Amino acid sequence: MLVEEGACSAAAVREALQNQVIFGGRLGTNLLELGEVAEDALAAALGRKHGVPALSGELALDPAAIALVRPELADRAEAIPYLLADRRLAILAVDPSDLSMLDEVAFATGKQVHPIVVPEARIWALLGKVYGIQRQLRGIDFGPGLAHRLGGPAAAAGAPPASAAAGDLMDEAEFDAIYGKSGSYPLPGAPPAPEDGEEILDLVEVVEAPPLTSALLESLSTGPGHAPPARFVPIGPRQDEPEPSPLGFGEAVRFLEGVEERGAIARTVLRYARSRFRRAVILTVHHGMAQGWAGLGEKLGVEAVGRIRIALGAPGIVDTVVQTRAHFLGPIPKTEANVRLLKSLGGGVPQNALLVPILALGRVVNVIYADDGRGGMVDASGVGELLILATRIAKSYDALLARVR
């Protein structure tokens, strides 16, 4: 649709599909990231695709609507309450055709829900602005006050040269002294997530509902909306699935030869890593940030891994691996980035850690981190196999990329 309408070129779509193979996200998000489509053109195409109204750009939110939806529901549904009028609630949604999502929002609010489609990246930015829920914005700049390029050259300005050797080596006592209390530690400058019972509207200045409120709701009222279901079992917090069985090296190599999507790569690598290490995580490296993609091991559930965000450009073992494109095996130096990484992994200082870079598109796109948990020592005999596996992962990426060229 975008190509036919002249909103972007076929070559841009191919490039976005290649980006999607490595970094995930929806096609529109990748086109925005590459600067190959305007947000309003993308939103208009999504509206025609789904047959619902579409919006883009800076959006003023109705405080009365926001108060109806808690952060965990907005995060899970990828939907933001927009406008409220009597029994009608307009929401901004990534997928307005998701009936289960509409059922849950309608049941939770008791309102007739009218979905408006909005590009995925805009929803991510609004989740951060309204609820303090951080999503990786992929370097997409929506302008001051809404989205921020987390990390990257700007964040690193004036920082000392990146080096894992900076500072003394980490020990358990010092780690506990620095980050001994529970809780998550967001990146500097990130809006805080609301505590239980905290008023969401205190986290962000929400302007008055826009003048087009009446006109928009009038147009929405021509349809019946999505009424609250008579019965609905609300979905609780995302539950982690039972950990899969470990894989031997030969099995992992064989599985990687036939992968058809990026998720299969992560599952295969982690199942092998769990045969050698107590905990392992794969980080995605993009736009000056290393963010958790998938992990296995104690305290490494889906939500915990998703909260891992390490800004590059400052001393730390992840930054060293990205800059040198070489693996790291050794004790962990005492730097702010390394302390943040260990806290994100659930705490506990290992005697050493192994990190291996994965290359695609001519640069490091993933880093595999593995250790043997609190006080544990990684057996160097497992390093060679993981290095070999890293080259096989790069070949798997090449095979997936070839399909969209």
User: What CATH number did the domain enclosing 316 receive?
Assistant: 3.30.450.40
Answer yes or no: are the C-beta atoms of 329 and 380 closer than 8 Å.
yes
For the segment 1-35, what is each residue's pLDDT rounded down to a tens digit?
999 999 999 999 999 998 888 888 899 999 998 99
- How is residue 364 written in tokens? 């490091």
Structure tokens at 25: 């996200």
Query: pLDDT per residue over 308-332, tens digit each?
Result: 889 899 999 999 999 999 999 999 9
Residue 153 lies in a domain: no
Contact 166, 333 (CB under 8 A): yes
Note the pTM of the prediction, 2 decimals. Answer: 0.75
Residues 330 and 363 in one domain: yes
Strand residue runs (E) in 54-195: 79-85, 88-93, 112-117
Report the distance separating Cα 216 and Cα 194, nearest Å.
30
DSSP state of 54: B
Domains held by the chain: number: 2
**Taking residues 56-68, what's their average pLDDT?**
90
Residue 236 lies in a domain: no
Element (H, E) at 293: strand 289-297
> For residue 195, with 0-12 CB atoms within 10 Å meaning exposed, 13-18 middle and 19 or more buried, which class applies?
exposed
SS3 368: strand
Whether the predicted pLDDT of 136 surpasses 50: yes
Handedness of CA 223, 228, 231, 232 (dihedral sign): positive
- Tokens for 130? 């309204």
Whether residues 209 and 287 share a domain: the answer is: no
3-state helix, strand, coil in the chain (%, to 5): 40, 15, 45
Which parts of 150-301 fold into alpha helices (H)? 152-156, 172-179, 213-220, 249-257, 262-273
Residue 31 lies in a domain: no
The label of the residue with tokens 């891994």 reads: 305
Q: In which band, very low, low, confident or very high, does the pLDDT at 220 lie, cut at 50, 70 and 90?
A: low
Q: Tokens standing for 18?
A: 């290649």
- Could you tell me how many helices (H) and strands (E) the chain has, helices first? 16, 9
Q: Residue 162 — pLDDT band, cuts 50, 70, 90?
A: very low
Question: Does residue 313 sit in the same domain as residue 211?
Answer: no
- Whether 173 has a pLDDT exceeding 90, the answer reads no
Q: What is the rounded average pLDDT for all residues in the chain? A: 80
Strand partners, 112: 88
Is residue 346 located within the same domain as residue 199?
A: no
Same domain, 214 and 246: no
174-206 per-position pLDDT tens digit: 666 665 543 434 443 444 444 544 554 444 444
Give a yes or no: residue 229 inside a domain: no
Alpha-carbon gap, residue 74 to 345, rounded angstroms: 25
Domain that holds residue 264: 172-178+241-402
**216, 275: one domain:** no
247 and 386 belong to one structural domain: yes
Residue 164 lies in a domain: no
The residue-averaged pLDDT of 143-169 equals 42
For residue 350, tell me if it sits in a domain.
yes
Closest Cα partner for 264 from 27, 21, 25? Answer: 21
Q: Is 143 exposed, middle or buried (0-12, 13-18, 19+ CB in 10 A)?
A: exposed
Residue 181 has a pLDDT of 45
On whether both 64 and 110 belong to a single domain, the answer is: yes
Confidence of residue 36 (pLDDT cuts 50, 70, 90): very high
Q: Which helix (H) or strand (E) holds 353?
A: strand 353-360
Same domain flag for 75 and 216 = yes
Tokens of 61: 């939110």
Output the pLDDT for position 230.
74
Q: Are residues 208 and 283 in the same domain?
A: no
Same domain for 351 and 281?
A: yes
pLDDT-wise least confident of 36-45, 229-238, 241-250: 229-238
Task: Give the CATH number of the domain where residue 58 resides.
Answer: 3.30.300.160
